[in-house]
Structure 1
């Protein structure tokens, strides 16, 4: 039996707040999807999903893995001065990279839409999402600082909740005057910009005063962050490669339908992600303090809690899947099997525990990178093999198998090398 001491109480309390924020964002996201589908059809939702994938991948490249590294160094006691010093030193390089990537998406949106996805109407969506690469990159970098400083509610709002809460607000505000499918992407871009401003407000508050002196050198810090970039890249690619490959072989309507069931399945990992935002810096603290007893207790406590809640959620989704899908329309019933497959994949992820945080917070980021790279290759091969014939169900199988592989591989490594 695990004693509920101060660390576990904080994990539950702050994790609970993060979970509530995530739930609010999730509900807003679903309302946004619901009204998008009802007013403009699954095709528009598909174009949104594809444009979001470019924003996610673009912001990922521009972060260079620095966000994960910031969580690690900001959570170390007595390391605040060095941490904020290197934060300000790397900003100019990140800013330059964001303008380059954003500019490329804007300039080549027509070619991407026509020659890759065979959907010219996707062009304007990509143009609107291109500046989001700049804003979203800095939102996530700043959120990682707050996560390291244990400002968990702020981190949860920037990372999970705020994006679709503001999107929904702008959506309802604009649609009164302009009822066009572009309302969806315009509202999203405005929401990202507002979140960017909020993140700047708080980064100046918590990172004050401004300094550029640090024992960390820029070159070495970025070099140490790159393995984390690869690890995070693989996670993002695993999350979005199915959408992109499906968009290549199928029409935007199928992409939109798949995007909805994928979002439903993510409910399974709600508790996992909420607790992990607080757990990662605690694991880093315990490991660097050589307190492996606390380290193991934290992992066990979070894994048991996540498993119980995830099993209940998956059971509920499977039992009521037809009712859930009927909310969006009859055309979504064709994704019923895919929803079950994706939920089972997410359940396996929850049961395996916070393997990513364990490996990255204990300096095993290269190992995690290698595992995820193999999982990504498996995912890509399976997607291209299954998507042309099996469509939505095919990419769901590819995603679930690759998710199971990297979690199981990580568990085996941790049990042998860390435990």
Structure 2
């Protein structure tokens, strides 16, 4: 686990580095306000993609692991997922195309966001396909391909197109067009890596209907979990100016460096947990989770301590305006440290047949998050959004630990 996680850790560091470089390019070459608009459009596109991926990406990992599918069987399942999501993606594409003006002017009170929403129409199917390919690589344990297509190629392409459009003096929404073009190239490359010109025929015992049924609870829990982390940004977009949105997102991006180990280990854990649970090896599952949680805690603590200690210095790389997000960064970092100490409770429940329980937990926490953001943002601004995010993530972890003990008989740490 350490060996595989180490490679993933290096790729994730590279991905974070290039992601921060993209943030700096947009913030410095365009403006912090443009980065705020880009962040808002990206968040809305990603949330919509999660909905219309129908939970199938996570279901791929669970089904392949629980049933010990071969590579060809897993690929057949992927094809079914691609066909299903392609049909359903028509709905949001039409919504954003015809509703771009209304969303921009009425909901977000902006006269420039409409161009971003039109670009979302182009990027949505690509975003969904990208998610399916990534989780397919996880399900068949091709972690190197996952790392390349998650952290390597997309970020390098984004940087290249951002700089090109800056040189060409293109309008601000071309920052998001740069992302769309990057996604197109990545998805084409992923398809080339997975599919042959003359594919081999193989049957999978799972029908398309059964795939959707298995994925359904994972859809809601995945969406709610995503919104728990990004509802604050969306609500900030409706309640404060674009500069504050940009500062908050910079602080959040830096704070999530603390998630570096959590997410990296989680990618390794998901297929292994599904496999152990599918075999009925609860003793092996318990040992694996305990070792993973200790690894997460020991490696996350120094990262979070470094972020807090160097918060002003790190923020200064993104411009003098960004230093205003120091207290926000410290709040977010504290919440991430608590999450690390609890372990990967979300995927443990999802991969062990308790996805409906976790779905219900995320719905409760999502409603709590909206309420806290609504109450705290008008009073404390971006710090209020950070407090709301940390509080609801803590609530989610505590409830998940309770149900993990109840359903599986053990905690992540003992």
Q: Given the two structures, how large is their TM-score scaled by the length of structure 1?
A: 0.93
For 1:201, the equivalent position in structure 2 comes to 192
For 1:41, the equivalent position in structure 2 comes to 31
Q: State the shift of 1:161 in Å.
A: 4.0
Q: Which of 115, 119, 124 is the matching residue for 2:115?
A: 124
Q: Is the 8 A contact 2:57 2:132 kept in 1?
A: yes
* Cα gap change, 1:266 to 1:161, in 2 (>3 Å): farther
Counterparts of 1:159 and 1:44, CA distance in 2: 24
Q: State the shift of 1:150 in Å.
A: 0.2
Counterparts of 2:265 and 2:315, CA distance in 1: 28
1:108 counterpart = 2:99? yes
Q: Is the 8 A contact 2:293 2:341 kept in 1?
A: yes
Q: Is the 8 A contact 1:113 1:123 kept in 2?
A: yes
Q: Which stretch shows the higher mean deviation, 99-108 or 231-240?
A: 99-108
Q: Which of 205, 219, 236 is the matching residue for 1:229?
A: 219
Q: State the shift of 1:74 in Å.
A: 2.1
1:187 counterpart = 2:186? no
For 2:299, the equivalent position in structure 1 comes to 309
Q: Is the 8 A contact 1:26 1:161 kept in 2?
A: no
Counterparts of 1:86 and 1:150, CA distance in 2: 15
Counterparts of 2:396 and 2:228, CA distance in 1: 11
Unaligned runs of 5+ in 2: 410-414
Q: Given the two structures, how large is their TM-score scaled by the length of structure 2?
A: 0.94
Counterparts of 2:38 and 2:165, CA distance in 1: 17
For 2:124, the equivalent position in structure 1 comes to 133
Counterparts of 1:207 and 1:413, CA distance in 2: 47
Residues 259-315 of structure 1: CA distance to partner in whole angstroms, max 9, x if unpaired?
A: 100100110011111111111111111112222222112111111111112111111
Counterparts of 1:389 and 1:210, CA distance in 2: 60
1:60 counterpart = 2:29? no
Q: Is the 8 A contact 1:140 1:158 kept in 2?
A: no
For 2:368, the equivalent position in structure 1 comes to 378
Q: State the shift of 1:99 in Å.
A: 2.3
Counterparts of 2:143 and 2:403, CA distance in 1: 29
1:320 counterpart = 2:287? no
Q: Which stretch shows the higher mean deviation, 170-179 or 237-246?
A: 170-179
Residues 89-122 of structure 1: CA distance to partner in whole angstroms, max 9, x if unpaired?
A: 3433210111221221122111111111111111
Q: Is the 8 A contact 1:14 1:153 kept in 2?
A: no
Unaligned runs of 5+ in 1: 1-10
Residues 114-134 of structure 1: CA distance to partner in whole angstroms, max 9, x if unpaired?
A: 111111111112212321111
Residues 169-209 of structure 1: CA distance to partner in whole angstroms, max 9, x if unpaired?
A: 22223332235423411211111111111221122159942
Counterparts of 1:32 and 1:86, CA distance in 2: 35
* Cα gap change, 1:277 to 1:208, in 2 (>3 Å): farther
Counterparts of 1:206 and 1:388, CA distance in 2: 57
Q: Which of 255, 261, 278 is the matching residue for 2:251?
A: 261
Q: Is the 8 A contact 1:140 1:159 kept in 2?
A: no
Q: Which of 357, 360, 385 is the matching residue for 2:350?
A: 360
> What is the 5 A alignment of 1:154-303?
154-204=145-195, 208-211=199-202, 213-303=203-293
Q: Which stretch shows the higher mean deviation, 160-169 or 244-253?
A: 160-169
For 2:412, the equivalent position in structure 1 comes to none
